[in-house]
Amino acid sequence: MFHLHCTKKLLDRIKPEIAEPGQSDTALGNWYATVLFWKPQVALLVSERTLLPVLMPLAPAATLARRFPGQLALVLREHGVPSEFIAQEVWRMDKVQYAKT
């Protein structure tokens, strides 16, 4: 499980159930996310522990958290991270809890 701390702009788009902030079970820790109103709109997610940025399409906003582990895996592969670490990180991201920034 990982915690996704979202800006108000992003929370207004996703409309998730908000949980109390806690610690993620993942090696990269909690994530912070915002929406960038570019054309097309993009979500910027940043790891609290490493400050690793991940950009991905926002649409459809409701599935952002489900699509995020796959996008993270692509970014980590491009950085040369071992596949065992990537698999473990994605496996631990099976559930998400949303929190405010």
pLDDT above 90: residue 50: yes
62-82: pLDDT as tens digits: 999 999 999 999 999 999 999
pTM above 0.85, yes or no: yes
The set of residues, in sequence order, having a beta carbon less than 8 Å from that of 77 and lying 6+ positions away, is: 83, 86
Q: Is 5 exposed, middle or buried (CB count within 10 Å of its CB: 0-12, 13-18, 19+)?
A: buried
pLDDT above 90: residue 22: no
